Structure 1
Amino acid sequence: MDWSPEVEALRRRRAAAARMGGEAAVEKHHNAGRLTVRERIALLLDADSFEELGGLTGSVISEPDGEGEAFTAANIVLGLGRVDGRRVVVVGDDFTIRGGSSEASSQPKQRHAEQLPHEFRLPLIRLVDGSGGGGSVRELERLQRTYVPLGRYRLPTVYLMAKNLAEVPVVGLCLGSVAGLGAMRVAASHYSMMIRDTSHLFVAGPPLVGATGEKRTKEELGGASVHGTSGAVDDVVDSEAEAFSRTRRFLSYLPSSIWELPERVEPTDDPERREESLLSIVPRERRRPYLMRKIIEAVVDRGSFFEISRAYGKSIVTGLARLDGWPVAVMAGDPYTLAGAWTAQAAQKITRFIDMANTFHLPVVHLVDCPGFEIGLRGETANTLRHGARAFFAINQFTGPWCSVIVRNAFGLGGAAHQPINAPTQRFAWPSGRWGSLPTEGGIEAAYRAEIEAAEDPEAARAEIYRRLESLQSPMRTAEAYDIEDVVDPRETRPLLCRFANMAAPLRKPGPVSLTMRP
């Protein structure tokens, strides 16, 4: 006798797992505008590349007649697959089985989902569609006791999550109504997204919040309108398909782990390309903004700029791009928001972005236009100083190659952080560049108040002082003292940056960095 009966039992269980929560539950899920976990995995990964792990995990109930058994899979699907040919780990919640609640999941399987990427040095993609935490208060009746949340003996999963942030790329997708530890699984990633109209993200959902007296709908409490600008996720997209497309693109710029280097792609853009528009893109009128994103698009490889967190910390633009095929991290001031001043949100965005670039050995290109930290009551009450200091130190603790191009302003503490002090750096300035401890306009009032007030014509005195100081602020004077390495024709920026990227490539070293990434 062979093992056919057991093999047939395996087949039946796998078939039951593939049915997930059953036709009715799947239909309800589809009617809510959401894909099932298995449809998501199929759409995300390369065709036919998914290798499921733990497909037999679940619970079995014997039929009343004793002739058979009913198998219900755990509501977490885990496995290996490929994204653009590269192996990844993917784990997803199955909302069709008890709403993705952790009460129906498997803690060992959830833990293994975080352990695999760490041990095999593979990127991790989390498809989050449930609480993923300790479950509901029904657990009290099931356990007949309570427990200390996240005790060190209960849930080493959190430790593994922290290890993964320091070692492998992690993408967190909020694909439904996600709360508690599930929400932290989204936030504890290098890149996260939610879906407009169908995703909601909470520390605690409306029922629990309602018990405190605050009545909110899911959308009011944790919808895209909230987290599109809160910083809890990096981006909001219009569909799950778009989220998966952006996931694939994000990973394309990064190595599989810190033990490898980001790969170059075959260049398709001329590294010597010079854009005529750059000569006039910065207005001579210093208070007039300009489109920094147009500068970015003009200097990086065509179509390669992948912006991250556009709606959060808007005075800073961050994203990934390529220069002559080499992946780089790009940071730039946006003069359309507070003239590019660092707000508390922008500083938090900078810290996280630079830490990610450092973790995965990405050289940084910084297009500088920063008049300093945000000033005034709003800046003070938002604790801009502390968040700005963290960003300042994140930049100065960066260890990889870095190139700064001072496009316009570099003033104050924010301006002082235009490049790290302990890394291989290059620095250039455009003729439009200006720098110093304070912008002339504000500094005159502080430094020459007595002289202006004592003058017969204060306005004329102020104008004369301004004219005198302005004549000393030419970038050419700074270049004469070699306080700036070079002032360049803006049209030469792309060739310079491509040469930087090629010089930087052999300096990159795989392995861990001393300061690990945190959310």
Structure 2
Amino acid sequence: MPDNKATKRLKQVSGHLAPKLPADYSDVRDQINTLRDIAATPDPSRRGYVRQKQAGKLWVRERLEQLLDRDTFTEIGSVSGTVKWEKTGPMREKPVSFVPSNNVQGMGRLRGRKVLLTADDFSLRSGHADGSTAGKTIYVEKLALALKLPVVKLVDGSSGGGSVTMIAKAGWSYLPYVPMYKQVVEQLNQGIPNLGAVVGPAIGLGAARVVSCHFSVMAADIGALFNAGPEVVKGATFEEDLDFQDLGGPMIHCTNGTIDNMAANEAECYEQLRTVLSYLPNHGKEAPPVIACEDPPDREDESLRKIIPRRQTRMYNPWTIIKSVVDHDSWFEIGALWGRTAIGGLARLGGRPVGIISLNCEVNGGALDAAGSQKLARLLKLCDVMNLPVLQFIDVPGYAIGTVAERTATMRWGVELAKAYFATTTPLFNVITRRAYGVAGGIMLGARDPVMQVAWPSGQWGSLPLEGGIEVAHRHELREADKVGKKAERYQELEEEYRRMMNPVRTANAFGVEEIIDPKDTRRVCCAWARHMYESLMPERLADRATGKIHPVFT
């Protein structure tokens, strides 16, 4: 009898010392599932969620569903956030409330391409850092470098930037370091695609993150971007009654070059992100993805013979040339609303991705201004880090002139463009469609040795256009002719003589231009060039990058 009592007592003590827990860890798995369910389920009673919907914005997890291929998202940090626990027994507890991290991160696929993704949840603390887990954003930036995977950033808030409530919570103020920026710069220069979309107010650090990307797009109906919001601006500059659109909406930042492109809405933003990624490699030590092409590389377009007017002052549509030469439906323009003296974007030739540069004769006569120079320099660097050969359609009368050009530092930015041309090593192919004059023309044409180019019969070139050039070179002669009332007659004689000598065939006779082609054959010539670049020179370029012989930089 005493032995039975002792055994029973030992069992009771043992039970207190080591409570029985499920052998399959189902208790821990249940906690994880509970937290994941809370994070993945919208709370219609939460003020932030209501505000998100009233603003016409998708909730963060709805965005993931709309952007990514179906059922491909794998979350990283799925239970990160702030939890309140309730003790339910010895060594047992359950979550009674959970505020998830307001930055959802993970991995998914865009048209089959594996990507890393980070998306702000503005409904939780407007995306400020005090609503997220420290180190989470930095981890994904580091992961992109380690895995060599593109990163997509959906910005709606401060993307982990600070707020004054952090001081109250911590009890002390902090120095505002930005520790993730080192990894961002490394990604940019290694050619790991960084693609960003502004799908709400992008504030402070959030603004910096999306502007840093290789490509950025803003949703016109809900997007805005600023260093600080209207209330902070009001206190600092006394500018009152500003809303998000007035302060930093698309008509500001999609027209000044801060954001590359504008989209009508979120859905169009995501389509642009998918499209841009389709031209880019996963990282700079890979070739851009080549796709099958049904557009014949030898397709001719006889309408190109007539597109350049014989009258020098008449304009034409430069996009018509681009779309005729590249693969059907492959043209994607970058920065259409800013730097409009220049045209830049991505396209394919025979299924092979290339960068496209052109001048826009419909704006400022095609004279390259400060903003146009900035746009082309940025595109050149993008193509360089992404191993994209560049096809140029040259019709440039030179850099912009006049008081506006001088006030906007045209020559300063023109020189920066020159640096970009000569600092990059990506192959260039020139099609001289009409004018190539001055420093701007010389830089665009001569940045590679040997040059690879052809000209059209409409080509004309020199140090200065005849308009103005004759006045400068023959000032005394024209002044004397004016005294006897024959200035106009003499000017016409000089112009006719110069135009006769500027016949492009004369330049070809002297081997000043290598070849003049029939414009209808432009696509065939350009596709042959692109094919050779990819099949013969791309392997050598990739080897040079792998061994450190060349170091393209985007920053």
Is TM > 0.5 for Structure 1 vs Structure 2?
yes
The counterpart of 1:36, out of the listed 59, 62, 81, is 59
The counterpart of 2:360, out of the listed 329, 334, 337, is 334
Contact conserved, 2:31 with 2:94, CA < 8 A, in 1?
no
Contact conserved, 1:315 with 1:337, CA < 8 A, in 2?
yes
Alignment match, 2:406: 380
Contact conserved, 1:133 with 1:180, CA < 8 A, in 2?
no
Q: Which whole-Å CA distance do the structure 2 matches of 1:197 and 1:325 have between them?
A: 34
Answer yes or no: is 1:362 the counterpart of 2:388.
yes
Report the CA distance between 1:418 and its aligned residue.
2.1
The counterpart of 1:248, out of the listed 274, 280, 288, is 274
Alignment match, 1:171: 195
Aligned 1:12-91 pairs, distance under 5 A: 12-19=34-41, 23-24=45-46, 25-62=48-85, 68-91=95-118
Aligned 1:30-429 pairs, distance under 5 A: 30-62=53-85, 68-150=95-177, 155-167=178-190, 168-211=192-235, 212-215=237-240, 216-422=242-448, 425-429=451-455
User: Where does structure 1 lack aligned partners over 5 or more consecutive residues?
Assistant: none
Answer yes or no: is 1:502 the counterpart of 2:531.
yes
Which segment is superposed worse, 350-359 or 2-11? 2-11
Deviation string for 1:429-467 (max 9, x for gaps)?
111111111001111111111111122322222222212
Report the CA distance between 1:147 and its aligned residue.
2.7
Helix, strand or coil at the partner of 1:77: strand
Q: Which whole-Å CA distance do the structure 2 matches of 1:68 and 1:340 have between them?
A: 64
Alignment match, 2:12: none
Helix, strand or coil at the partner of 1:129: strand
Could you tell me which amino acid in structure 1 is paired with residue 184 of structure 2?
A: M
Deviation string for 1:88-122 (max 9, x for gaps)?
10000011111112221223101012111111100
Helix, strand or coil at the partner of 1:230: coil
Report the CA distance between 1:423 and its aligned residue.
5.4
Contact conserved, 1:401 with 1:423, CA < 8 A, in 2?
no
User: Root-mean-square deviation (CA), in Å?
Assistant: 1.7
Which segment is superposed worse, 67-76 or 449-458? 67-76
Contact conserved, 1:396 with 1:420, CA < 8 A, in 2?
no
How many equivalent pairs are there? 514
Q: Structure 1 pair 419/359, CA: closer, same or farther in 2 (3 Å)?
A: farther
Q: Which whole-Å CA distance do the structure 2 matches of 1:26 and 1:423 have between them?
A: 58
Q: Which whole-Å CA distance do the structure 2 matches of 1:275 and 1:23 have between them?
A: 61
Q: Which whole-Å CA distance do the structure 1 matches of 2:98 and 2:186 have between them?
A: 34
Which segment is superposed worse, 424-433 or 58-67? 58-67
Contact conserved, 2:197 with 2:216, CA < 8 A, in 1?
yes
Helix, strand or coil at the partner of 1:417: helix
Deviation string for 1:353-386 (max 9, x for gaps)?
0000011110100000111111000000000111
Given the two structures, how large is their TM-score scaled by the length of structure 1?
0.96
Q: Structure 1 pair 307/266, CA: closer, same or farther in 2 (3 Å)?
A: same
Structure with max Cα Rg: 2
Contact conserved, 2:31 with 2:95, CA < 8 A, in 1?
no
Helix, strand or coil at the partner of 2:445: coil
Alignment match, 1:10: 32
Report the CA distance between 1:252 and its aligned residue.
0.4
Q: Which whole-Å CA distance do the structure 2 matches of 1:35 and 1:432 have between them?
A: 52
Deviation string for 1:262-281 (max 9, x for gaps)?
12111110111001210111
Could you tell me which amino acid in structure 2 is paired with residue 11 of structure 1?
A: N
Given the two structures, how large is their TM-score scaled by the length of structure 2?
0.90
Contact conserved, 2:429 with 2:451, CA < 8 A, in 1?
yes
Report the CA distance between 1:142 and its aligned residue.
2.4
Q: Which whole-Å CA distance do the structure 1 matches of 2:310 and 2:103 have between them?
A: 58
Contact conserved, 1:130 with 1:182, CA < 8 A, in 2?
yes
* Percent of residue pairs bearing the same amino acid type: 36
Alignment match, 1:473: 502
Alignment match, 2:6: none
Q: Which whole-Å CA distance do the structure 1 matches of 2:423 and 2:232 have between them?
A: 41
Q: Which whole-Å CA distance do the structure 2 matches of 1:375 and 1:349 have between them?
A: 18
